[in-house]
Amino acid sequence: MNYQTIIDKIHLEIKPLLSQGKVASYIPALARISPEKFGMAVCTVRGEVFSCGDAEELFSIQSISKVFTLAMVMDRMGDALWERVGREASGNPFNSLVQLEVENGRPRNPFINAGALVVTDCIILENHDTLNDLRNFVRKCANNAGIDFDTEVAASEKATGHRNAALANFLKSYGNLANEVEKVLDVYFHQCSLALSCTDLARAFLFLAHSGADPVNGQIICGPRQTKRINSLMQTCGLYDECGEFAYRVGLPGKSGVGGGIVAVMPGELAIAVWSPGLNQAGNSLAGMKALELFTTYTKRSIF
């Protein structure tokens, strides 16, 4: 399969879409990013790397970070996590307060913001130096010791993250946060500010295509059982309230972020990351969705 030829072709085809999405202007540090940016990278379990466009430019991964924190927690807590958070698609916006109230403070899944805050709370309980441990975990997944938080983005999120603060306080009122609200929010804003490139992200998700082990250096990231469950949760819950559309059009487990990134996994074969900051109404990258749809169309490969 000539992946380089395929992604170069996709790059040309999606260019007219780049001006149609809207950047996440509610986070000031993201509002300044040009919607014309586009990068795409494919990393295979054989160690091959293919990329095009702005694939080496760093960007804020935002909610894609929830996959890393979930992997950390599932590997250490196992099924005890599900006493505090569900595993069902939400069908509502990722920052919905209404659903959290109706369901008595137990978030529907770990990829909506309320669920991710519970996972972050678990990370704090399990780690002495939470931010360092999280950063080192992502560095290990991506095999890149230079990965770091974008402090400007973290500060911008803290200054404007009133909805997340409301969710955290709501969770606390139901007894579903063990740590202080401010501490959980600080870690959460930092994890969302992690800056990676498309190539970093595709490389970092390879363990999910290889039963939890890094196929290049053999490091164990998490167990095969946890890997299976993370992939299933990405399939059903990874694209906010557009999971069905993504499954229909792309046919791979994936996770998106409002920074414009989307990562998808073809188990046994590869991980693919795309970045285009212009978002659709659901908060997913407009051109990125199309690029991944074209990728599975041209390769004639998906999980279905």
- Would you name the residues annotated as active-site residues? 63, 66, 188, 240, 258
Tell me how far apart the alpha carbons of residues 228 and 225 are, in angstroms, rounded to a whole number: 5
The label of the residue with tokens 């293919």 reads 50
Three-state secondary-structure class, residue 263: strand
Answer for the pair 257, 62: CB distance below 8 angstroms, yes or no.
Answer: yes
State the helix-helix crossing angle for 181-192 and 162-173, rounded to 10 degrees: 140
State the pairing for strand pair 39-44/148-149. unpaired
β 39-44/270-275 pair status: antiparallel
Residues 6+ apart with CB under 8 A from 83: none
Instruction: Give me the phi and psi of 255, to 5 degrees please.
Output: -145, 135
Is beta strand 194-196 parallel, antiparallel or unpaired with respect to 270-275?
Answer: unpaired
Contact 19, 278 (CB under 8 A): yes
Q: How far is 154 from 107, CA to CA, in rounded Å?
A: 23
Kindly give, in sequence order, each residue whose CB lies less than 8 Å from that of residue 300, ignoring residues fewer than 6 positions away: none
